């Protein structure tokens, strides 16, 4: 039997999930209380389908595998997995999750697309809360691989593991978080850069146009390849991140930021250095730089200017 | 006559500039006081040359166009432009710039690769300080297009314009800053994300591996295409950044960040909204999303896993 997923809420993110699951060859049952939801979803699918097709559809993938349910109860009654993507408003999501858990098979895992609400709060008044996890995607979910998986206080370990396995099977890059962190990981990092950008615009230090150009022509290209830790590790040819942290401590580096810096304790330095060494693995510094440069060339060759 | 550039200081960044200018078909005179500089530079060029070759060399580009000078005076005596890339230590750069300005032709513009020092301080004790600008590149300078150009108090408008034109001619994406902002733009944004990453590692909220994976599989892919402002503008299908800012104000969004947020004044909101509308130009929201998706597909197709 084909994997069958319910997508509850079909706005920008929920609709993006519909596209993703369809592209993976799954059966999808969608539901949204908004009367205009279906035509809007159809427009979104029509716009996105050529792109997932370019990336390669799974065997059996078809737009025919989508059904729009007429009720929530019908939508969740016989599915393998439920993806909830309601508006990011606590009481709305709480009410919807309670309804979902009323009608869904008891053992069906529910992933919430919440980007910033607490799973512990979201699951506080549902049936069998142990099977609800946050499965936070990035826009557009049919192209950006990342899903952050995180449980609340009542979520079972098994549900977290099962949801992670489900998302991996569905082609996503899963980060399974060990504890509930408000905003998860990537949104915290995004919020930091966005806060600094707003400060710079407010202070007249830079314009929106300068900020976006700076990222797109500069560090953004690298962040598509290496994250912030490895970027700095590779930026210091002789000594890597350990030497960079020395410079931070001596205030030769990072002295220009509005952001507060954590105390650079021995433990933090060890964690940062060891993490980079783990990522480096058996590759030499020179080999990692070669890999980075090849990927940068690939990206630069396929990039066309955007606003 | 061929454009002739002096690269003073040939560490990771200075050597990267050498590669870039050679790839653009320029004559390059390099100088570095370190006795081991030449073989190290040769290794860097050998490693990087295949990548700039893939991107396309300018007519006449050749490794034969590099000369390693035996003295600073000789290196800067007859060139069109001087790129200074000494270690990021104020008194070292100040001393070097003074020497450079002693020997360089009086009308020769000098771009400093400084990433965080004050141009006003750097030019405080040189000959003809009006011709020194910061020309801050991103690692590796032979692949990442961005150069931030900024003057100090004594820098002339003409020098800033001339340096910007020179860098653009040399194939760089130039952001010409109107005022001296410590850390320029992109490093301020990088510092913000890095500070949050360190906080998360210090607090045990995320590991280095999770942070880097989150960026590379998530927002980093988008930042190669759209900067933080346009990313948010496109994330809200109905209302764009204006609606997002409303959510920030209502603390529905961005409530999970350690970073302080600026006061969301009417002026700031107008600047942010207008900036995004300027970048959007005549494209519809749907067209921008199509452009983003096509570029994401291109990047995803050429990406291979990195640590």
User: Which of A28-37, A237-246, B262-271 is the least confident region?
Assistant: A237-246
Mean pLDDT of chain B: 94
> Do the Cβ atoms of A129 and A117 come closer than 8 Å?
no
DSSP 8-class letter at A109: E
Cβ of A223 within 8 Å of Cβ of B213? The answer is: no
Cβ of A227 within 8 Å of Cβ of B219? The answer is: no
> Do the Cβ atoms of B149 and B160 come closer than 8 Å?
yes
Q: Does B303 touch chain A (CB under 8 A)?
A: yes
Select from B177, B194, B223 the Cβ nearest to the Cβ of A220: B223
Distance from CA of B158 to the nearest CA of A (A): 21
Q: Which residue of B has its CA nearest to A141?
A: B218
Q: What is the DSSP pairing of strand A146-151 with strand A132-137?
A: antiparallel
pLDDT tens digit sequence for A282-306: 999 999 999 999 999 999 999 877 6
Select from B192, B254, B264 the Cβ nearest to the Cβ of A259: B192
A177/A151 Cα distance (integer angstroms) = 8
Q: Which chain B residues are within 8 Å of A89, Cβ to Cβ?
A: 252
Give A 111-170 residues with CB within 8 A of chain B: 116, 138-140, 143-146, 148
Q: Which chain B residues are within 8 Å of A117, Cβ to Cβ?
A: none
For chain B, give the secondary structure using H, E and C.
CCCEEEEECCCHHHHHHHHHHHHCCCEEEEECCCCCHHHHHHHHHHHHHHHHHHHCCCCCCCHHHEEECCCHHHHHCCCCEEEECCCCCHHHHHHHHHHHHHHCCCCCEEEECCCCCCHHHHCCCCCCHHHEEEEEECCCCCCCCEEEEEECCCCCHHHHHHHHHHHHHCCCEEEECCCCCCCCCHHHHHHHHHHHHHHHHHCCCCCHHHHHHHHHHCHHHHHCCCCHHHHHHHHCCCCHHHHHHHHHHCCCCCCCCCCCCCCCCHHHHHHHHHHHHHHHCCCCHHHHHHHHHHHHHHHHHHCCCCC
Q: Does A229 touch chain B (CB under 8 A)?
A: yes
pLDDT tens digit sequence for B50-97: 999 999 999 999 999 999 999 999 999 999 999 999 999 999 999 999
User: Which of A47-56, B138-147, B246-255 is the least confident region?
Assistant: B246-255
Cβ of B307 within 8 Å of Cβ of A197? The answer is: no
DSSP 8-class letter at A57: P
pLDDT tens digit sequence for A164-210: 999 999 999 999 998 899 889 999 999 999 999 999 999 999 999 99
Q: Is cis: bond before A194, omega within 30 of 0?
A: no
Q: Best interface-test mutation with B: which of A89, A149, A224, A235 has the largest number of B CBs within 10 A?
A: A224
Cβ of B208 within 8 Å of Cβ of A278? The answer is: yes
Q: Does B232 touch chain A (CB under 8 A)?
A: yes
Strand partners, A216: none
pLDDT at A247: 84
pLDDT tens digit sequence for A5-31: 999 999 999 999 999 999 999 999 999
Distance from CA of A56 to the nearest CA of B (A): 10
DSSP 8-class letter at A261: P
Q: Does A293 touch chain B (CB under 8 A)?
A: yes
Residue B76 Cα to chain centre, angstroms: 24
Q: Which residue of B has its CA nearest to A305?
A: B225
Would you place residue B305 in the very low, low, confident or very high pLDDT band (cuts 50, 70, 90)?
confident
Query: In chain A, what percentage of residues exceed pLDDT 90?
Result: 88
Across chain A, the runs of DSSP E, i.e. the strands, are 4-8, 27-31, 66-68, 81-84, 109-112, 132-137, 146-151, 173-176
Q: Which residue of A has its CA nearest to B52?
A: A297
Q: Does A46 touch chain B (CB under 8 A)?
A: no
B126/A108 Cα distance (integer angstroms) = 72
Q: Which chain B residues are within 8 Å of A306, Cβ to Cβ?
A: 225-226, 230, 288, 291-292, 295
Q: Which chain B residues are within 8 Å of A113, Cβ to Cβ?
A: none
Q: Does B291 touch chain A (CB under 8 A)?
A: yes
Would you place residue A71 in the very low, low, confident or very high pLDDT band (cuts 50, 70, 90)?
very high
Q: What is the ipTM of this complex?
A: 0.95
Sheet of B109-112, strands arranged across: B66-68, B27-31, B4-8, B81-84, B109-112, B132-137, B146-151, B173-176
Would you place residue A252 in the very low, low, confident or very high pLDDT band (cuts 50, 70, 90)?
low
pLDDT at A307: 66
Would you place residue B250 in the very low, low, confident or very high pLDDT band (cuts 50, 70, 90)?
confident
pLDDT at B239: 86
Q: Which chain B residues are within 8 Å of A41, Cβ to Cβ?
A: none
Residue A39's H or E segment, with its range, is helix A37-55
Select from B198, B226, B254 the Cβ nearest to the Cβ of A262: B198
pLDDT at B307: 66
Give A 58-87 residues with CB within 8 A of chain B: none
Q: Which chain B residues are within 8 Å of A164, Cβ to Cβ?
A: none
Q: Which chain B residues are within 8 Å of A226, Cβ to Cβ?
A: 212, 216, 306-307
B70/B32 Cα distance (integer angstroms) = 9
pLDDT at A303: 85
B196-216 CB burial, b ≥16 within 10 A, e <16: bbbbbbbeebbbbbbbbbbbb
Q: Which chain B residues are within 8 Å of A287, Cβ to Cβ?
A: none
Would you place residue A1 in the very low, low, confident or very high pLDDT band (cuts 50, 70, 90)?
low
């Amino acid at each position: 039997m084909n994997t069958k997923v319910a997508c509850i809420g079909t706005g920008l993110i929920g609709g993006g999930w519909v596209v993703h699951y369809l592209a993976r060859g799954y059966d999808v049952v969608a539901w949204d209380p908004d009367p205009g939801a279906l035509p809007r979803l159809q427009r979104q699918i029509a716009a996105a389908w050529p792109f997932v097709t370019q990336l390669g559809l799974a065997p059996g993938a078809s737009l025919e595998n989508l059904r729009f349910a007429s009720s929530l109860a019908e939508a969740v009654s016989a599915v393998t997995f439920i993806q909830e993507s309601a508006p990011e408003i606590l009481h709305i999501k709480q009410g919807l999750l309670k309804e979902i858990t009323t009608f869904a098979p008891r053992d069906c895992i529910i992933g919430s697309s919440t980007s910033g609400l607490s799973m512990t709060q979201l699951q506080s008044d549902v049936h069998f809360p142990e099977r609800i996890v946050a499965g936070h995607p990035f826009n557009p979910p049919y192209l950006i691989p990342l899903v952050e998986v995180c449980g609340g206080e009542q979520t079972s370990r098994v549900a977290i593991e099962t949801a992670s396995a489900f998302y991996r099977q569905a082609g996503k890059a899963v980060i399974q978080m060990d504890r509930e962190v408000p905003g998860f990981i990537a949104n915290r990092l995004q919020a930091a850069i966005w806060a600094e950008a707003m400060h710079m615009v407010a202070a007249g230090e830079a314009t929106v146009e300068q900020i976006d150009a700076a990222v797109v022509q500069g560090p953004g290209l690298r962040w598509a390849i290496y994250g912030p830790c490895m970027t700095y590790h590779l930026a210091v040819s002789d000594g890597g991140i350990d030497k960079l942290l020395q410079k931070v401590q001596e205030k030769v580096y990072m002295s220009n930021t509005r952001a507060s810096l954590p105390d650079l304790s021995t433990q933090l330095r060890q964690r940062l250095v060891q993490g980079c060494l783990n990522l480096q693995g058996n590759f030499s510094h020179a080999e990692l730089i070669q890999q980075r440069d090849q990927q940068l060339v690939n990206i630069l060759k396929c990039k066309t200017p955007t606003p």
